[in-house]
Amino acid sequence: MKMTSAALLSALLFSAAAPAVTPEWNGTVLGFEAPPAPLLGEMLGIRPILTDHGFNYQLGYLSQLAWNAGGGYNHDSHAAYIDQFSLTFTQDLERYTGIPDAQIEGNIVNRNHNDSLTMKRLQDSRVNFNDLAQESYGGQSITRLGWLTFARSFDQRRLTWRIGMMNKVQTFDQIIPCDFQMLSQCGGKSANSLSWNNWNVHTWGTTLAYRLTPVLTLKGGIMEQNSYAADRSHAWSWSTKGSKGFLLPVEIEARPHINGLPGAYNLGVLFNNAPQTDLYRAQATYHRTWFLYSGLNQQVTQRGGDPDRGMSLSWSLGVADPRSTYIHYTTAASMRYRGLFDARPHDWLGLGVTYIEMSNHYARNQAYQNEVQGVTDYGNALYSPLPGHSINAELYYRFRPVGWLELQPGLQYWHHPGGVRETQDAWVTGLKTVISF
């Protein structure tokens, strides 16, 4: 926390002393690359026609292969494979309505194969999972509406308003990319609240983002808290059936230049008024729970004067109410380097390490279940393992054989999978493939 506070303070001081003309913020080395030239190109002239009418889209394919090279709960060899197609689009309405920056935003994701190495091999199924070897595993083979929203701006584009069936990634916790294959290294930690979802699950809500200065943005909103949002029946539903309450997220984000290099910093709090049951004392219910998340992503070197090459360092933290959320806190640090080799200026090298601490209320409930069952032997099928902490790491190298194709082999290390010390440490090899159409 000291590191984040200092970084945010630096960002605030920078914004106060910034000149009238702010340097252009370039997030390429932070992991936010511009979309590559697509495989299908102009699609026989169809794409330019759509663009001329204000319709812009990205169509992509992603697959993630993971194989248990050693260790884990089940040592039997298994190569788990999942993939997905995603369509993300915007329709410009300003040209037709005159409303500043008015647009319709949409996202549709099709996931396939429902094959998780984490569930099948890496961790003990008698405890809840706390990480995934394939971050895009969604528990189902299904096509979903990720979001469909209306957005516009006010006050000379300082204020952006969004409303509709939305996902939190449209507005919140946007400073760290999802480039690693391991879930705990994918983006920030706001999803660890377990009260809203990443990427391809929608709920109703409305959000505001106000640019206080060229560096600082204040974000807030109100969103539906629906525990059934990820169910198959809700994939295309616009109903609020299953809603238990509302979420109130507030976040401040800074995008300064430090030593002339771009960075991104955030601090957010998520309030939830939906009823939550104590993990240990089942008779206790809470109507006010919270989640805190924070992070930083800073470019620290620039190679050969090229702003698109160099090293960045990131750190993120998520802290939950341990009474009702089985993951108490997660913190992750990572390094990215773009263009390490002169012959491969667009390649990436990434290294990340994550620490996960499980809730003591959850562990006490597991111990209580053992007491009720009268078992003390971990090898007994009725035994409920006592989760503690995990340390997971991943190393990857990503390259582009051609502009529209990315191949990313990686190596993962799992210490205490699922937080269970009796489970053998595991090694996982992976291959992430991305195609832009």
Tokens 């470019």 locate to 299
| Two tokens, residue 118 | 């984490």
Residue 3 has pLDDT above 50, yes or no: no
Tokens 């009238």 locate to 20
CATH for 28-436, options being 3.30.460.10, 2.40.160.180, 2.60.120.200, 1.10.730.10: 2.40.160.180
342 alpha carbon, distance to own chain's centre: 31
Residue 1 has pLDDT above 60, yes or no: no
Residue 13 has pLDDT above 50, yes or no: no
Confidence of residue 199 (pLDDT cuts 50, 70, 90): confident
Residue 372 has pLDDT above 80, yes or no: yes
**pLDDT digit string, tens, across residues 388-433:** 999 999 999 999 999 999 999 999 999 999 999 999 999 999 999 9
251 in Cβ contact with 268 (< 8 Å): yes
Neighbours of 432 (CB within 10 A): 22
Q: State residue 203's pLDDT score.
A: 97
Q: Dmax over Cα atoms in the chain, in whole Å?
A: 70
Per-residue buried b or exposed e for 183-202, using 16+ beta carbons within 10 Å of the residue's own CB? bbbbbbbbbbbbbbbbbbbb
Neighbours of 42 (CB within 10 A): 11
Confidence of residue 11 (pLDDT cuts 50, 70, 90): very low
The predicted model scores a pTM of 0.92
* Backbone phi, psi, residue 214, to 5°: -60, -15
Mean pLDDT for 219-246 is 95
173 in Cβ contact with 190 (< 8 Å): yes
**pLDDT digit string, tens, across residues 71-118:** 999 999 999 999 999 999 999 999 999 999 999 999 999 999 999 999
What is each CA distance from 250 to 103, 210, 351, in whole angstroms? Answer: 24, 12, 30
CA pair distance 147, 157, nearest whole angstrom: 22
Shortest CA distance to 326 belongs to which of 247, 390, 373, 270?
390
Mean of the per-residue pLDDT values of the chain: 93
DSSP, collapsed to helix, strand or coil, labels residue 7 as helix
**pLDDT digit string, tens, across residues 312-358:** 999 999 999 999 999 999 999 999 999 999 999 999 999 999 999 99
CA pair distance 370, 382, nearest whole angstrom: 8
436 in Cβ contact with 36 (< 8 Å): yes
Of the listed ranges 6-20, 105-119, 380-394, the least confidently predicted one is: 6-20
CA pair distance 254, 296, nearest whole angstrom: 9
CA pair distance 13, 7, nearest whole angstrom: 10
C-alpha count within 13 angstroms, C-beta hemisphere, residue 205: 28
Residue 12 has pLDDT above 80, yes or no: no
Residue 36 has pLDDT above 80, yes or no: yes
Give the pairing of strands 261-272 and 276-277. unpaired
Mean pLDDT for 135-156 is 95
Residue 18 has pLDDT above 50, yes or no: no
Residue 274 has pLDDT above 50, yes or no: yes
Return the domain boundaries, the chain: 28-436
Per-residue buried b or exposed e for 391-401, using 16+ beta carbons within 10 Å of the residue's own CB? ebbbbbbbeee
CA pair distance 392, 214, nearest whole angstrom: 37
What is each CA distance from 17 to 168, 211, 427, in whole angstroms? Answer: 32, 17, 48
Residue 373 has pLDDT above 70, yes or no: yes
392 in Cβ contact with 413 (< 8 Å): yes
279 in Cβ contact with 324 (< 8 Å): yes
CA pair distance 112, 119, nearest whole angstrom: 16
- Kind plus residue range of the DSSP H or E element containing 92: strand 79-92
348 in Cβ contact with 337 (< 8 Å): yes
Query: HEC string of 146-189?
Result: EEEEEEEEECCCCEEEEEEEECHHHCCCCCCCCCCCCHHHCCCC
